[in-house]
Structure 1
């Protein structure tokens, strides 16, 4: 990218942006620059409309909404799954929109963690989001294993990233299952999922990935990579709303295996209302559902996924890289005097959809940014995540964010705040 740090250049990039038409689809607040889309994506007009449409079907049909209306609720999870499947590189039968990130991980571990003999450990990493580690810990305890001994954590060499060689080295004969993030939530590093899956399978180990920070931001090819399972949330880059229903993927080679945690919505739909004492599971990823779909929490996702279908994940990824490249360039040009460390990988193949800055005053800098109506994301102990999202952020947003950050540092206005996170960081 051209090393031009002028506002005019940012505006020129915006004029050339093929995705700029989607910016008006979102509810952007006046004079606010939203850089936290990797934590909670913004509401779009289409997501609002799809929520209102599903709400209206409840008003109009009552219980008959399960089988009537534009989007019958009984099949709504499968409708969303078909829309989402291309984003993860899977067939519609391998994806189901259901549950939450952690409940889906519990389901998948319960299904695929089958300790035998000396193969009893679950391999994870110390940089993963803690919720995943809590679930692994819990599942090990339920199997009667000491989590301290049986959860094997790959260490980071620098505190920000993971080395794939270290992960492969940890794939020893005592490992029964591997659970890793696709993109590290702090630094934004992309793990090489294809290569890690290949190495795991060489050793007869099943492997799954947490896609929370990659789905809707980078392309995936889970089928081609032969990944065993994956799970994700839909409220970050996919803009499904706070607490949006999550998603999971199960490779079709595992179809027919009974889910670890059974629930009646995992039934074959033709037999579900037979209400038999003996469950007949669905023959695809739908079998991994447990409870009744949360229709109103899934509804906004329909409108959001319409835009992803139109724009295409490749075009979204292309703009995302240009935005984060541009932000990196400006940080290097404008903030070199202020002790920021860019901890995100620079290589496109290793960087997800956000930039990660490390600074000892990170918590109070984030508070100062909010005072200037720039919405960042603080990550303990000293990280600032800035996520320029392809569908609604502009290059001018990036330019103004860095200029405001420079002003805060130059004037030391951050010093009036306590260098301590809020209750929700």
Structure 2
């Protein structure tokens, strides 16, 4: 499908033709450093900085009056971010809120939708999901006085990298209440067949929720077609909202009117919110799932960050992401295989997310060597170096240079300088 050449001039030519190239100037790229970790924490943009600093200046000037300034910008910030986020999901803005953290939002949706009965009380997860998701699911099961060993169905991987759609479907038994899965597996970058899984679950009377942490901002979703019941995501990876940026939450409008599992005063209707009644008057749409006062300095960078997505367009971003990651895989195949490197993610466009899962038996020490050579990847146990050439700010030439450096690390045995003992953040 893709035609590539193993030549740096070819990479430079691709950069000259890249329609997204102008957006690179909007990000704070560090000189002489190649950032390949946007799947874990996106780079800071000038747009996000401006939005954050503006909110700080407004606080300095207005104090408590900030809530009413600029036509209620800060009071209604979750709604404004929802409008900017909606095109990425092809969902209604009223179905989206920006709030909390991804794990807290998992607790919120499960507290809302997990009401086990004698007949239906089990939750389906996969064994390759991020640990925090599993902790949250186990916690909710225990809060219902059930045993996760009984109430949790874990779909096994056949190859320790991916999860087969049929295996997920086979787990959807009559006693299942909820299917909870990631859209993209964080280690192998596998993109699950969200529509088939959701449709099959619904045919069997099962609710479906998705963790979009590793797809939001990298992959265009169509939630009008997928028709998931709920979803959560973080905004600090591909969205570039900043470290610990407030997360996102989706509630399908068919569930409007359902009581929020976790309630707080910002989920109350605006008209009665400040009456401070002790009877919760839940808002009519996804805003009813808000809990506390919005974290302004964790939300305002998103106004700027999402402005870039409005201008670039998520479909154009996905097109380049697929192309530049395919180019990386091509170079791995042609230049790195003799040195023990392999690609551990699916190859087909429709089954992979926004990063490449590079495997090597010395992956940990190689990842540390990369950092000392001014390439920023991340490492995931047991043998994965995740490399994410981001469509908005990475270049094809950077990808070529990274592959050259990966080759040098093995040829010159640079990795041997490092300890095998794991650090905390790698």
Q: TM-score range by the shorter chain?
A: over 0.9
Q: Distance in 2 between matches of 1:213 and 1:320?
A: 13
Q: Is the 8 A contact 2:333 2:342 kept in 1?
A: no
Aligned residue for 2:31?
30
Aligned residue for 1:116?
117
Aligned residue for 1:302?
303
Name the SS of the counterpart of 2:178 in structure 1: strand
Alignment deviations for residues 5-48 of structure 1 (CA, whole Å, 9 cap, x no partner): 11100000000000000001000111000000000000000100
Q: CA deviation at 1:196?
A: 0.4
Name the SS of the counterpart of 1:274 in structure 2: coil
Q: Distance in 2 between matches of 1:357 and 1:419?
A: 18
Aligned residue for 2:144?
143
Alignment deviations for residues 208-267 of structure 1 (CA, whole Å, 9 cap, x no partner): 100000000000011221110000000000000001000000000000001011111111
In structure 1, runs of 5+ residues without a counterpart are none
> Equivalent residues in 2 for 1:207-218 (5 A)?
207-218=208-219
Q: Distance in 2 between matches of 1:418 and 1:342?
A: 24
Q: Distance in 2 between matches of 1:70 and 1:36?
A: 37
Aligned residue for 2:94?
93
Q: Is the 8 A contact 1:364 1:420 kept in 2?
A: no
| In the alignment, structure 1 residue 155 sits paired with structure 2 residue 153 | no
Q: Is the 8 A contact 2:101 2:246 kept in 1?
A: yes
Alignment deviations for residues 327-382 of structure 1 (CA, whole Å, 9 cap, x no partner): 00000010011122211111000010000012111100001111110000100111
Q: CA deviation at 1:421?
A: 2.4
Q: Is the 8 A contact 1:380 1:421 kept in 2?
A: no
Q: Distance in 2 between matches of 1:389 and 1:421?
A: 26
Q: Distance in 1 between matches of 2:71 and 2:13?
A: 42
Q: Is the 8 A contact 1:378 1:421 kept in 2?
A: no
In structure 2, runs of 5+ residues without a counterpart are none
Aligned residue for 1:396?
397
Q: Distance in 1 between matches of 2:357 and 2:36?
A: 12
Q: CA deviation at 1:169?
A: 0.2
Q: Is the 8 A contact 1:88 1:221 kept in 2?
A: yes
> Equivalent residues in 2 for 1:36-51 (5 A)?
36-51=37-52
The CA RMSD over aligned residues, in Å, is 0.9
Q: CA deviation at 1:71?
A: 5.9
TM-score by length of 2: 0.99
Aligned residue for 1:257?
258
> Equivalent residues in 2 for 1:358-369 (5 A)?
358-369=359-370
Q: Distance in 2 between matches of 1:5 and 1:70?
A: 54
Aligned residue for 2:285?
284
Q: Distance in 1 between matches of 2:184 and 2:331?
A: 23
Alignment deviations for residues 125-166 of structure 1 (CA, whole Å, 9 cap, x no partner): 000000000000000000001112211100000001110000
Q: Distance in 2 between matches of 1:236 and 1:63?
A: 32
Q: Which moved more, 1:229-238 or 1:141-150?
A: 141-150
Q: Distance in 2 between matches of 1:243 and 1:336?
A: 36
Q: Is the 8 A contact 1:189 1:350 kept in 2?
A: yes
Q: CA deviation at 1:420?
A: 3.2
> Equivalent residues in 2 for 1:19-418 (5 A)?
19-69=20-70, 72-418=73-419
Aligned residue for 1:422?
423
TM-score by length of 1: 0.99
Runs of at least 4 residues off by over 2 Å: 69-72
Q: Distance in 1 between matches of 2:131 and 2:141?
A: 15
